[in-house]
Amino acid sequence: MDVFDYKCNDPAGPTASEGHTANCSDSRELRLVDGGGRCAGRVEILQQGSWGSICDDSWDLSDAHVVCRQLGCGVALEATISAHFGEGSGPIWLNELNCTGEEAHVWQCPSQGWGQHNCRHKEDAGVICSEFLAIRMVSKGRECAGGFLQQQLWQCLPQPHEAMTLPVIFRQLDCGDFGTLYFLVPPREGSRPQWVDGICCQKTDTSL
């Protein structure tokens, strides 16, 4: 079983020992299990000394966003249901979560209360997070414009892919839904790594 733990009061952040850790509140802990990586898996909470899962009733991207942000894993790409990452074996701690997406911890979201549910583990909730913390465009004095992307990033983007990908970027940057792609953006001084190439977003994608 792949387990990535996030323990309380660990200012050092992720470690390479028993698991990966991050800050959380009071005595509760949060972890992702059986996702094969740090930022994906079944969502489990340590409450009253026992690791338990979350039921997928009403589980959606707003709930998953809180989990991903709490664990330092960027934004939620998918809120998985029906024990996508396998069934847990402990208590089912939370059900009918109704997060706004702005909560600091997933257990701060409205719910039916601790241990209140009519679920089975075949309904365990999970998340797939982006892992990337942020994107930005670079331009002096213009927040929603700049030489953020190099032309080769767009080499696979004939219509309609370009029309799908640009709105994803603008929405993620809170810059509206529409804009224009310019290829002739002068390069910045110095060199920086290129992290991705050939991006092709689909209609259902929520982040780059």
**Is 152 in the same domain as 178?**
yes
Residues 32-61: tens digit of each pLDDT = 999 988 899 999 999 999 999 999 999 999
DSSP state of 185: P
Percent of the chain surpassing pLDDT 70: 62
Structural domain of 34: 3-129
Phi, psi of 107 (to 5 degrees): -80, 0
| 113 or 150: which leads in pLDDT | 113
**Is 139 in the same domain as 120?**
no
**Is 16 in the same domain as 66?**
yes
Last residue of a domain, one of 114, 129, 144: 129
pLDDT at 202 over 90: no
pLDDT at 32: 96
Which one, of 110, 107, 199, lies nearest residue 150 by Cα?
199
**Is 169 in the same domain as 153?**
yes
Residues 6 or more apart whose CB falls under 8 angstroms from that of 113 comprise: none
When divided into structural domains, the chain yields a total of 2
Amino acid letter, residue 70: Q
87-96, 124-133, 175-184, range with the lowest pLDDT: 175-184
DSSP state of 45: E
pLDDT at 77: 87
Q: How many residues does the chain have?
A: 208
Cα-based distances in Å from 69 to 13, 72, 130 = 14, 5, 10
| 197 or 99: which leads in pLDDT | 99
pLDDT at 90: 93
Residue with tokens 């009519």: 118
Amino acid letter, residue 115: G
Burial class (CB in 10 A: 0-12, 13-18, 19+), 16: exposed
Domain of residue 71, CATH code: 3.10.250.10
**Is 49 in the same domain as 124?**
yes
Last residue of a domain, one of 86, 109, 129: 129
Q: How many CA atoms lie within 13 A of 46 on its CB side?
A: 17
pLDDT at 164: 73
Taking only Cα atoms into account, the Rg of the chain, rounded to an integer number of angstroms, comes to: 19
Residues 6 or more apart whose CB falls under 8 angstroms from that of 146 comprise: 136, 137, 138, 139, 185
pLDDT at 191: 55
**Is 116 in the same domain as 51?**
yes
Neighbours of 5 (CB within 10 A): 20
Answer yes or no: pTM beyond 0.85: no
97-113: average pLDDT: 94
Residue with tokens 């009071």: 26
pLDDT at 141: 61
Last residue of a domain, one of 107, 129, 151: 129
pLDDT at 7: 46
